[in-house]
Structure 1
């Protein structure tokens, strides 16, 4: 940018004054003044993101306005006049940007600010070259562009950043001499470079600061929302009583049944709740009204009405009414009958209130309570079984260590070490199963294309050193190009457990021990089957094999977690598993996954 030595020094002094004001006791007054200039005295922006971006946009425009006006006076004091038109244009367009920002034409203001910045930078960068450091401002402009246009207009922001880069390259290589050539000293060049670099640096820091502040505000809002959600559960417990009191006092959604004439009047709000227009349901009878009640709720409605006639107290019930679209909606129904002198009902007046959201919330709470009860039950069983399964090999290790310490026989020591190794392998497998269970519970499902045959081969390869695996024939029956769209990590856990069980519980005394792995897609679902001619599962254990820590016998080598993990993992993938088994003949596990 074309400036004199004196202008560089004055600009540096200006920035020091701003910093002094920012760090001094007038900080709040200055911030209020700047906000009123940028946003307006009585203006309020509800969105934190819009407010931060508006302030950033306005501050950059203010800086452009101040620099434009300041450089005119500074160059005039140094008898340099060639940059006047550019400075004046910068000041005027910065002022226009401020005005657009105040009237909330944010896209126009951002676009104008970016165009003005790139235009002014092109003029000075092409005239002065890289020696004065003007090119640093292109980086600042790019950062400001991305922040101002945000994620919602990211494509336009990226396009403008690329355009800014192209302008910088054009200024560097083409070097059109727009401003007159002026001879400057080395001292002038150094001071200009430092001033331009410092200005660009701190403006970039300002942009990043606003971006960080915006992220901080968003995080704070999320934490506030989380606290609010925690209070919602407590509020729902009190909402039932509040709704009861509100229904007794309201006349919204009125209906009136005249028993003598047989006519039924429905208020406009009543119709609106059920999705009807004002002119609908004009000739409805009471029997037709009862036909709108959900069949499961009709006995409760009639019983409530009968109790009301006997007790002479207002009735209240909750039921589902059929909407115009054919679905059912929960409403709170309350009313009272008008009786003649003989106690016979003349008419019935009632009202309804839409409680669909409340019912859905209660249903969600019941579901969460069921899930919590299940989780607590699983946790109790997990703690008990896990402590037992970890303690057993540890106790065995301590015993083997004690034996090894008391013997001098190398053979006995080696035997103890081999047995220790087996216990460690057992513990390692158990810890891996715990890790798989934990990851399945915590991590969200990441669906992506998976080449099934490659994944199956990877699992089989990882299990080939399992005891007895070398004596089992493993066949793969699937297309090499077969692809499932699912979570590869979870599918691998499922396959690893099923194939490992098929190897572990095989019958090696048979003539041709085998495991047959098949996968295919039938258009409606993706299927994988694991078939073996191993030990099979006794009928009395079939209904429990997917329970946590269930073992068919005390001699079982597994932890009892494997098939439970398979079932829970499939639940995450919205899949199912079916098993067919005959004791001492073999088993077939069929997995179905959604397409």
Structure 2
């Protein structure tokens, strides 16, 4: 890449060339003035006393101009030199017409020796020279009289013409050199500009590749005009074409935000306007198809001369897949934590619930061996049977829990009437101290798409609990199974008039190994497993119960 042209150095070189030209012009003027002075001294008798003040002004002015030029007072040096020369030439031209031609190099010199930035002064001196020329040419007065013969006039004419020609040649040479330097500088600037254009194009292409590779969309918010520029990549991320969103405003962008994410975005923007630090934000924004996408937004701002933010520039990246993965990982971690807690509790309680019936069985066997009659042996065998049944119920519950935790949901079309009949038939011979009226009031045309085995376990647990905790003091104990449908869900309700559950137990009744009464004969896993199954099927479960009145359990499941 060629070096960048040094504009400051170029301007400085122009000043130096002007200073050299100024020195050359002043030295030429001094030389001519000295020659004329001696010429007048030798050939024009009696002229010196009248002309002496003008020569004093001429030598003094030109000397001062040279001094100022050496002190780098370029503008002041030019003004003194041009002022002196205009006065002297005007004074002599009133008496000698041959001197009039000297106004030309003085006027041309004004255009060259005065620094270029003083344009008004340059043209002012040109006008001054022309004005004095006209006054001298058409005026009819003299400041002093010069008696000079024909030879003297020829000498003055020759000196004036030579001086004018030499000055014009010096000025012309300066202009030629200046033009060549300017052309060379322009060529260098042109090459540099072409190189910059090429580098800019390559940089633009690299930037475009980076943007495409990163999948980022660029935006620019003009805070003062409240307008937005959106790149085509930005529009593509949000599902729009390049022709869409032409008059998009910041309020429209806020409208794409998910309502729950707007307060956080506004807070981040306020923080950025306060501390001016780059901001990052993750939020949901509405795609053109109506869905919400997770967007990572980052940006920074520029300020105006007053320190106020005028432009905010940023980029967005679609992180929906990353967020989905994070959410899945979070859910899996929560599931693992819950599973570990449940396993810890299961192992802890299982060690008691398994050992207790086995210990009872061993003890009863030992006692039955010492029994003296068959009646005692039969009684002990009945007790052993109860302990074994309790152990079997516990193992069954553990199996249900394990299957629900590890098996995938297998959905099929399920007839609720058929499922209810099968469940009731399996439980109607369950041990109960009283005869219970079990009536499944389910229409034959009620079907849902769900996991048949899991739903059967739910119904079995609920009806089994109603049988187990029936109230023997009531004359007509009952269990009713009802179903209702709406457009989105199926509600299954199990009602009984059993012993009921106190309100203080309602919130904990679905916890693992929780027993509402000390006299409970269950494992404490039934309702916990029921709730786990219902939630895995995408439903909800709730309970309402009053002691000595009865219990109602509602299970709400999706239709498909």
* CA apart distance, 1:422: 1.1
**Aligned equivalents of 2:339, 2:477: Cα separation in 1:** 39
Q: Deviations over 1:91-112 (max 9, x none)?
A: xxxxxxxxxxxxxxxxxxxxxx
Residues 215 and 317 in structure 2, CA contact (< 8 A), matched pair in contact too: no
Q: How does 1:371-382 map to 2 (within 5 A)?
A: 371-382=335-346
Q: Check if 1:592 corresponds to 2:525.
A: no
Residue 401 of structure 1 is matched in structure 2 by 365
Residue 439 of structure 1 is matched in structure 2 by 403
SS in 2 for 1:432: helix
Residue 331 of structure 2 is matched in structure 1 by 367
Q: Check if 1:388 corresponds to 2:352.
A: yes
When normalised by structure 2's length, the TM-score is: 0.57
**Aligned equivalents of 2:465, 2:418: Cα separation in 1:** 20
Q: Check if 1:554 corresponds to 2:528.
A: no
Q: Deviations over 1:552-589 (max 9, x none)?
A: 12210011111122222222332333333221011222
- Call closer, same or farther: CA 1:536–1:310 in 2, change over 3 Å: closer
**Aligned equivalents of 1:484, 1:336: Cα separation in 2:** 54
Residue 422 of structure 2 is matched in structure 1 by 458
Q: How does 1:17-56 map to 2 (within 5 A)?
A: none
**Aligned equivalents of 2:439, 2:216: Cα separation in 1:** 70
Residue 473 of structure 1 is matched in structure 2 by 437
Q: Check if 1:422 corresponds to 2:386.
A: yes
Residue 501 of structure 2 is matched in structure 1 by 537
Q: Deviations over 1:314-341 (max 9, x none)?
A: 3333233333344432222222222234
Residue 228 of structure 2 is matched in structure 1 by 264
**Aligned equivalents of 2:513, 2:432: Cα separation in 1:** 24
Q: Deviations over 1:270-304 (max 9, x none)?
A: 11111121122222334444444444444444444
Unaligned runs of 5+ in 2: 1-209
Picking from 231, 237, 243, the partner of 1:279 is 243
Residue 179 of structure 2 is matched in structure 1 by none
- Call closer, same or farther: CA 1:315–1:550 in 2, change over 3 Å: same
- Call closer, same or farther: CA 1:449–1:469 in 2, change over 3 Å: farther
- Call closer, same or farther: CA 1:288–1:377 in 2, change over 3 Å: same
Residues 251 and 351 in structure 1, CA contact (< 8 A), matched pair in contact too: no
Residue 476 of structure 2 is matched in structure 1 by 512
* CA apart distance, 1:478: 3.2
Residue 567 of structure 1 is matched in structure 2 by 531
**Aligned equivalents of 2:284, 2:447: Cα separation in 1:** 45
Q: Deviations over 1:419-447 (max 9, x none)?
A: 11111111011111111222222223333
**Aligned equivalents of 1:313, 1:476: Cα separation in 2:** 67
SS in 2 for 1:499: helix
**Aligned equivalents of 1:286, 1:323: Cα separation in 2:** 16
* CA apart distance, 1:256: 1.8
Unaligned runs of 5+ in 1: 1-245
Residues 433 and 472 in structure 2, CA contact (< 8 A), matched pair in contact too: no
- Call closer, same or farther: CA 1:291–1:580 in 2, change over 3 Å: closer
Residue 332 of structure 1 is matched in structure 2 by 296
- Indicate the larger mover: 295-304 or 356-365: 295-304
CA RMSD of aligned residues (A): 2.9
* CA apart distance, 1:389: 1.0
Residue 308 of structure 2 is matched in structure 1 by 344
**Aligned equivalents of 2:343, 2:439: Cα separation in 1:** 38
Residues 216 and 317 in structure 2, CA contact (< 8 A), matched pair in contact too: yes
**Aligned equivalents of 2:535, 2:233: Cα separation in 1:** 43
Picking from 456, 460, 474, the partner of 1:496 is 460
Structure (1 or 2) with the larger CA radius of gyration: 2
- Call closer, same or farther: CA 1:389–1:298 in 2, change over 3 Å: same
- Call closer, same or farther: CA 1:396–1:283 in 2, change over 3 Å: same
**Aligned equivalents of 1:375, 1:307: Cα separation in 2:** 41
Q: Deviations over 1:60-84 (max 9, x none)?
A: xxxxxxxxxxxxxxxxxxxxxxxxx
- Indicate the larger mover: 404-413 or 338-347: 404-413
- Indicate the larger mover: 403-412 or 329-338: 403-412
**Aligned equivalents of 2:292, 2:319: Cα separation in 1:** 12
Residues 332 and 355 in structure 1, CA contact (< 8 A), matched pair in contact too: yes
**Aligned equivalents of 1:358, 1:394: Cα separation in 2:** 52
**Aligned equivalents of 1:317, 1:530: Cα separation in 2:** 49
Residues 541 and 555 in structure 2, CA contact (< 8 A), matched pair in contact too: yes
**Aligned equivalents of 1:251, 1:417: Cα separation in 2:** 75
Q: Deviations over 1:525-577 (max 9, x none)?
A: 43433222211111111222222211012210011111122222222332333
Residues 434 and 472 in structure 2, CA contact (< 8 A), matched pair in contact too: no
